[in-house]
Amino acid sequence: MVDAYLENPALLAGQPKRSIADYVESQGILVPRRFATLREARASRLPIMARSEHPQDYDGASDLVPIRKDLLMIHPEILDEKDLRKKIMEEQFKIPFFLKGYPEIMGINSEEFLDKFSLSYWRLLDGFNRTITADSAIPNRYHITTTCYSEPIGELWQYMIFEDGCIKTFFQGSNGKGVPLDLIKDLNNFVDLYERIRHLDRFDHNHCPTMEFQSIFDRGRINNYFLQYHRIRDFEQTPFKLERRREIEETEFDYVRGATLPEGKVCKVATAYASEHSWNNSRREVPWKIDLSEEGSIDPPRYLVMSEIMSRRRYFQTLNGNSEIGVLLGMAYGHESRSLWFKPNVSVIQDEDAREQLFPLKELVASWDKAKETGENQYIHLHVVADGRKAFVKRV
């Protein structure tokens, strides 16, 4: 099954979020009200949010231009779309984010790229923001995040794995009351809605997209409003179960997404990026660039632009943190960690003990120093074998 939007990008009309929302709504699915212009949105006197739009948003980097939901409330004096766009551009260029970094790294014309950035205007809904992504290796397995930042719930962020109709993994952080039980009871309905959209005619039914929804309570029922469809990976069912014992030199990972073939794969994995550890004011400044031979990263660059670009290109990725729980909960409110988790072929969550076993901090610091001294990225080779639930990784 082909994806109509990849076959004919003109269907996106330069605004993937809005164009796909129009299509999904035409299929009888709830979508928040959209407005043709900023003036029309203001005139409605409804709570409104501006959303960034760029043609690459459908199948490219996530969070191209992060816009606060209260942007229009912060600038109530702005009525002209050109003025609002200019204001956003000014704010974005104060930090090294996508509007500047993305075209530079990709080697494309910056002016043409920036000209394609636009805004769409949506009714802002309260409630719970939820994302759902079908696992790329295990059937009937879904990764679901939930966040809420409003009264009377308070602040809440949650990550779960929902498989075969049951919650298999559940982590939650909250400064308030937590997720209402009715939202948990809605999980089967939520998955059914995801699958219904996933199997619409214009989408590739074998693909595992991330979809975003806003879930609100209305007269005793939950209404799930579609917000976005973002392409991630095709489904490739794991061909085996990793049942053997790990070898002495292997590090075992229990938080895994994605699978290899039974024999595994040797990957060229970055440990330090010259651009990040270069001298900025004395000897050299190394520009960020794509190394086509790179197959993975054990220490992702802090430069979010590079992480977003490379996440879809990598075969293997580690997500590092003090604990697996902290990393998973971070996905509830961060595009970067979601991209590193879902877009590579295989991703694992690595705590400090696992990192020390696989690539000790002393070696990591030495690789930073060498990258800084030579102006070249540093790499090691890792053998990775994973079945979608467990992974063994070793140095080679």
Q: Are residues 386 and 295 in the same domain?
A: yes
Whether 325 maps to a domain, the answer reads yes
What domain range is 74 assigned to?
33-123
Q: Are residues 73 and 180 in the same domain?
A: no
Q: Are residues 118 and 151 in the same domain?
A: no
Whether 206 maps to a domain, the answer reads yes
Whether 282 maps to a domain, the answer reads yes
pLDDT for 161? 97
Q: Are residues 386 and 368 in the same domain?
A: yes
The model's pTM is: 0.94
Low-confidence ranges of the chain (pLDDT < 50): 281
Q: Are residues 372 and 258 in the same domain?
A: yes
Q: Are residues 283 and 365 in the same domain?
A: yes
Please provide the size of the chain in residues.
396
pLDDT for 281? 47
Whether 6 maps to a domain, the answer reads no
pLDDT for 384? 98
Q: Are residues 360 and 374 in the same domain?
A: yes
Q: Are residues 368 and 275 in the same domain?
A: yes
Domain end marker among 123, 153, 178:
123
